Amino acid sequence: MTRLWTLVALVACCAAASAQDAKPALPAPVLESLIKEPDYAKAWDLVFLAEGYPASEQELFFEQARLMARKLRFGNTSFPMREAYTFNFHFVFAASREAVSWKPGGKPRDSRLRSYTDEDGVLVTDDALADALALEVAPDVDSIVIVARFQPASAYDVSTWPKALSDVVEKPDHVRANADMPSDGKRARMPTIDPDAFVHELGHALFGLGDEYGEYDGALPASGHWEIALTPNLTTDPSGARWRHIVDSVFEGGGYYATGVYRPEQACRMRESREAKFCAVCAHTIRSIGAVEEPSEAKITSPKQGKAVEPGALLSPSVEVAWKQAHDPLYYAIELYDAAALEASDEATPLWDDYVEGHLRSFEVPVSLAHKGALTVRIFPTNYKDESADAAEVTFKLKKLAGGAVPSTTGVSGAVDPTNQ
């Protein structure tokens, strides 16, 4: 009898503990919209998501999100964006149990989108949760803006932090906004209510513009050239040939580096989020996004199909691939394959690949002198909408070299065709 009562008491105790630990259900998300174009297919629908706001701050979120939307709707700096798109705005309030942590390197708390601040002071969000919430509540989704509510400044005693942390973030306002490029999801993450920074981040998310400021004193490493190729307002070519059809000026510094990267003008909203306007290249890119031409196929002029080619630069051997193009795309994707492997399967893994700027007409492709058999190069011109033309390709062989040169696949260098200047 005693054992029975003990078991009943234990069950009752566990049930009480379970009830105590159970979290109250969150209210259903609430949607408000500002519709300018009822035909969603003709509009760009921006969806603002609340992150880290308690249920009691629903109106605060709507007020703050509308403030950012107003900057896009009426601001002078964002005028080129309004020329490019007709915007609809959808504001989704989904309450969280806890605010977002602003401590660098922290962990997600009990917020709706499981956001946190990484070791570099950048706001990180669970993109899958954000996408699912937007698609569930908003009538149409083209881009997502996450608006984060942080713990109060008093939540942490910064004086007790290691210097490596306090140098990154000392208060919630120091957490960095960021955005995904168009090919990566078109999301913007706003850790502070900053309409000026919001327009800057939309430059990334909607139009693929790169940051024009330099944070690092050194030069851009060769491994970072491919990222510059994807951004129309940056180049590694000091001649400025990439945007000469728009403006004839070049300034060094951009893409986070002080040297080795160049931007079109001294001042731009993509260099400083308080700057009054976009530079000419950024404004042109934004305005013309809707009229971007479909990329035309490139025509490879060298090497010749089926010919044997002698690589240059034996310490880092390469083959110069040259092509013709009707008009400049944003960039080219270039891939090098073992020809036999590519013939066997179009899903073959490339031996090497890279992205190069769209004004180029030739490029040094690294090769291995130890490679046996033919090689195939493919070139995909890609435009500002991330649309690619069919691949141009050529298959060639390497000439056998005397002297027993050491095989290598290192060293990639770009070459600008003088006829394209």
Q: What is the pLDDT of residues 69-112, one digit of tens each?
A: 999 999 999 999 999 999 999 999 999 999 999 999 989 999 99
CATH node for 30-207: 3.40.390.10
User: Which residues are paired to 354 by β-bridges?
Assistant: 334
Whether the CB-CB separation of 303 and 396 falls below 8 Å is answered with yes
User: Which residues are paired to 178 by β-bridges?
Assistant: 189
Give me the percent of the chain exceeding a pLDDT of 70: 90
Higher pLDDT, 411 or 48: 48
CA-CA distance, 271 to 255, in Å (whole number)? Answer: 9
CA-CA distance, 182 to 286, in Å (whole number)? Answer: 13
- 48-77 exposure pattern, b = at least 16 Cβ within 10 A, e = fewer: bbbbbbbeebbeebbebbeebbebbeebeb
- Res 61: pLDDT: 97
Cα separation values, 233 from 138, 260, 357, Å = 33, 14, 11
- Res 2: pLDDT: 41
- Res 122: pLDDT: 96
The distance between the two most distant Cα atoms of the chain, rounded to a whole number of Å, is 99
CATH topology identical between 30-207 and 299-399: no
CATH node for 299-399: 2.60.40.2550
- Whether the upstream peptide bond of residue 303 has omega within 30° of 0, thus cis, is yes
pLDDT at 192 over 50: yes
For residue 280, give both structure tokens.
């000419």
Q: Which of 145, 260, 124, 264 is nearest to 200 (CA)?
A: 145
pLDDT at 348 over 60: yes
In 82-195, where do the E strands start and end? 87-93, 116-117, 123-124, 143-148, 178-179, 187-190
Residue 136 gets which letter from DSSP? H
pLDDT at 402 over 80: no
Each residue of 11-53: pLDDT tens digit? Answer: 444 444 444 457 889 999 999 999 999 999 999 999 999 999 9
Torsion angles phi and psi, residue 366, rounded to 5: -70, 140
Query: What are the structural domain ranges in the chain?
Result: 30-207, 214-291, 299-399
Residue 244 gets which letter from DSSP? T
Amino acid letter, residue 70 = R
pLDDT at 245 over 60: yes
Whether the CB-CB separation of 373 and 308 falls below 8 Å is answered with no
- Res 420: pLDDT: 36
pLDDT at 258 over 90: yes
Strands 318-324 and 87-93: unpaired
Each residue of 137-170: pLDDT tens digit? Answer: 999 999 999 999 999 999 999 999 988 888 889 9
- 186-202 exposure pattern, b = at least 16 Cβ within 10 A, e = fewer: bbbbbbbbbbbbbbbbb
Whether the CB-CB separation of 368 and 409 falls below 8 Å is answered with yes
